Amino acid sequence: MSQKSIEINTPTVFTEKTMYEIVAKVFLDDNFPTDVSSLDIDLKDLKYIDVAGVTVLSNLIELAQNFKIPVNFNYNDSVASFLIDSGFAQRYIGFPDDNLNKKTYTLPLKVIHAEEVVSHLHYQIVPWFLDCLEEETDKQDITSYQLSSIQTALQEIFNNINDHSNTKIGCYCGYYNKEKRIFKLCISDFGIGIPSKITKLNPHLTESQAIEKACEYGYTTKSTPNNMGAGLDVLLKNTVLANKGSLTIYSSRGIFCAKFSEEEIIKETRAVQEHNVYPGTIIVLEYPIDTIQLDEAQEFSW
């Protein structure tokens, strides 16, 4: 017999800082309950949501739908604006697609399967960077090959989803903040999480330290035949060092942050409260537009 529905009342502000309380309402003992009658999401109190909040909600919905669990929404006459700008409301609630035809600084929410990675990078993500760069800087006629450092970092994130996600499905969403002149891109999945296999091999590490370990040069658990050890260290090199950006990785009960400061990478691990868990991985990347590294124009190869 099915349990009663799961009810989610979204907070007024939904970001990576408030995502744990939402995830905790759904996952029981780190597991997704597959025998519930429905997932009911109340958006009435939601005033602000960012790229992380959108991807978390999307992952929850995709996971529920994967188990054939109906998803219902409760909202006022209007919803938080970024739910519309990101394409979330169009994808899940049934809002019309009109606004997605307008030029915005948003990289719309997309659900991505393992076999679609190259297509999404070439035709969705990189063109978004290029459009914003040409609109907001004096750089013109930039080619995708000149953003090879960003492409390589993102490819490694998607490889990680393919290797460690139970569903082989992730999602992403991005936004360029014109006032702060920063790209913010969030990629997430629900899977076993980065620390799982690392702590089995290194039981003395905390889960935050395990994420940091995964970002070391050459480190790999060799967990899949395709995992040749390129490693998440390319995120540090290509996001933080090359482009003077920052990254934050949330996975299981661990948090790892890295940012550029005074010509070096500053790393930090953070402890989370015991009841806080993200059953998978969410990576938040920030790239200041004025420090984006452009390579010489040449063909980029995978």
Write out the two tokens for 150: 């960003």
Give me the tens of pLDDT residue by residue for the chain, a chain 302 residues long: 456 899 999 999 999 999 999 999 898 767 788 889 999 999 999 999 999 999 999 999 998 998 899 999 999 888 999 999 999 999 999 998 875 555 579 999 999 887 888 899 999 999 999 999 999 999 889 999 999 999 999 988 888 776 655 666 789 999 999 999 999 999 998 888 889 889 999 999 999 999 999 998 877 655 554 444 457 888 899 999 999 999 999 999 999 999 999 889 999 999 888 788 898 899 999 999 999 999 876 554 55
Burial 208-225 (b: 16+ CB within 10 A, else e): bbbbbbbbeeeebbeeee
pTM, two decimals, is 0.91
Contact between residue 184 and residue 174 where contact means Cβ atoms under 8 Å apart: yes
Burial 8-27 (b: 16+ CB within 10 A, else e): bebbeebbbebbbebbeebb
